[in-house]
Amino acid sequence: MNGTVYSKDGKELRTIELADAVFGLPVNDDLIWYAINNELANRRQGNACTKDRGEVHGSNAKPYRQKGTGHARRGDKKSPLIVGGGVIFGPKPRDFSWAMPKKAKRQAIKTILSLKAQSDTLKIIEDFSIESGKTKDLAGLLDNFNPGTRTVLVLKDDDPMIKRAAANIPWLKYLSYNRLCAHELFYGRQVLMLETAAKNLNDFYGQKVKEAAE
């Protein structure tokens, strides 16, 4: 399949050939759900912690005598039924992460890329760099591509100046072509991909293609 390469001004420049094995696959909703939930689970810190009655600081002495007070029988003030007592079945630190097969994860990424290409929310832009590293320079460039919309910028490499400029734009996320995130990619309203990143994705997923002459 072919895609259109846009200039930094938002004008059409030429066409580029995109691998069907990466950008032309049928959408697999179950696999996308699987990949996104895997990423969200792996992000969880799992450090919530509560104290049970054995861990709460306090006296073990009986607060009042067993009979004659009209109150319920109390063993100590650390009972979960008393304010300030322990917590029943509260959360403890745990590891929520789980492993997803690499082949399944790669297939999920390719499925999301195909979904974006088929829904016309994927735009390929000629390679650029922000030499100054200033946010206003990158924001001025993105003004030509529906600014304010939740956007994912796919880079050809770890460009530190683009990352520096993008850090202060709240609706923009940046990803390197070889470290794509299923969650960010799927929920991005538009995906802006550098031309070299698109070519690298063709090679990265095992299919080399040549740029189509216009």
pLDDT (0 to 100) of residue 165: 92
Q: Residue 136's pLDDT is what?
A: 92
Q: Check if the beta carbon of residue 85 is closer than 8 Å to that of residue 53.
A: yes
**Structure confidence by residue, pLDDT tens digits, 91-142:** 999 999 999 999 999 999 999 999 999 998 999 999 988 988 899 999 999 9
The percent of residues above 70 in pLDDT, for the chain, comes to 96
Number of neighbours of residue 137 by Cβ within 10 angstroms: 15
Q: Is the pLDDT of residue 213 over 80?
A: no
Q: What is the mean pLDDT of residues 63-67?
A: 90
Q: What is the pTM of this model?
A: 0.81
Mean model confidence pLDDT for the chain? 89
User: CATH code for 2-44+100-204?
Assistant: 3.40.1370.10
The tens digit of pLDDT for each residue in 183-197 reads 999 999 999 999 999
Q: What are the residue ranges spanned by the domains of the chain? A: 2-44+100-204, 50-90
Burial letters 162-171, b for 16+ CB under 10 A, else e: beebbeebee
- E runs forming strands in 65-167: 122-125, 151-155
What is the Cα 201 distance to its own chain's centre? Answer: 19
* For residue 38, pLDDT beyond 80: yes
Least confident of 7-11, 22-26, 34-38, 202-206: 202-206
Work out the pLDDT band at 8, boundaries 50, 70, 90: confident
Token pair 């297939």 is found at 107
Question: Which residue carries 């031309």 as its tokens?
Answer: 195
